[in-house]
Structure 1
Amino acid sequence: MDVFVYGTLTEPDRVAGVLDSFVFVGPATLTGLRLVEGRYPTLAPGGETGGRLLRTDETTALDEYEGVGDGLYHRASVPLEAPEEHPDRAAVYVGDPDRLNADAAWPDGPSGPDGEFGERVAAYLERADVRVQLTPEKSV
């Protein structure tokens, strides 16, 4: 699985402490979501975020690290613009701003403003043009 990482998981030493097997594919840009700071970095609707594309099969370890089971972060799938040998989608972890003390607002989901955070993220991703683009390496 390819994963867009934008916070602590852009650091190779941190990733090595979480995953046994991974590779950084290259620099990438997430369009449609912007970085916001809180207790941990997270994303909010609009803008762009620079980061890296990480490839691993260890989704359980990533979900545990990001607190998916506890509702801290939500793993979403977005289109990936990259050469043909890459998957056509990438995962991205979005943290709940209420739980992270981050200044971010997400539109209502199908259940209204009191809907679950993952539901609000999914509803936004269905409506908005959110995608990851692998940034070509510049040759010197």
Structure 2
Amino acid sequence: MYVFVYGTLTDHDRVEAVLEGEPPARYELQGRATLEGVHRVDGRYPTLAPGGRVDGRLLAVDDVGLERLDRYEGVEDGLYVRVSVPWKTDAASAVDGSQEVDADIAVYVGDPTRLGVADRVDWPGNGPFAARVRRYLERTDVVIHSDE
């Protein structure tokens, strides 16, 4: 599985520290990517807000690694929510020049109120934070681009 990372997990040493343990996790920090449709905002930890774009990297992880990332991001406690975003490569080989969806990539989006984000962040709609994020992603053309 691939995860789009845009904050502390873009650093190889941090990834290694988060994913170490028994059983060993298999992972590889890969190339640059851009997430279109959201932008980074900073608080105690970085998170995302609707609109714009953010540069980051792709991190390939196995199931053990994904479980450790969920723990690190506080998914069970609702600090971050893990969502899926389509990944489109800039496929030079496509005959018609279109971009192809290769897979869905996991992205962690943190609750701005719990992360102490100074900027006002409005995920549209009503209901719990995770539901508003998912609804926005479903109704908006949020996508990850890479040269991979």
Smaller-chain TM-score bracket: 0.7 to 0.9
Task: List structure 1 segments (4+ residues) > 6 angstroms apart after TM superposition.
Answer: none
Which blocks of at least 5 consecutive residues in structure 2 are unaligned? 20-24, 94-100
After superposition, residues 76-95 of structure 1 pair within 5 angstroms as 76-82=83-89, 87-95=102-110
Offset, 1:87: 4.6
Q: Which amino acid aligns with 1:44?
A: A
Amino acid at match of 1:32: G
Structure 1 unaligned blocks of 5 or more:
none
Matching residue's letter, 1:39: R
Counterpart CA distance in 2 for 1:10 and 1:37 is 15
Normalised by the length of structure 1, the TM-score is 0.88
Q: Which has the larger radius of gyration?
A: 2
1:106 maps to which residue? 123
- RMSD of equivalent CA atoms: 1.6
Contact 1:34 1:49 in 2 (8 A): yes
1:99-126 deviation per Cα after TM superposition (whole angstroms, max 9, x unaligned): 0111211101xxx2xx111100000001
- Once the two structures are superposed, the pairs formed by residues 57-72 of structure 1 within 5 Å of their partners are 57=62, 58-72=65-79
- How many residues align? The count is 130
Which has the larger share of strand?
2
1:116 aligns with 2:133: no
Give me the identity figure in percent: 55
- 1:9-31 Cα distance to aligned partner (Å, 9 max, x none): 00000000111321122100000
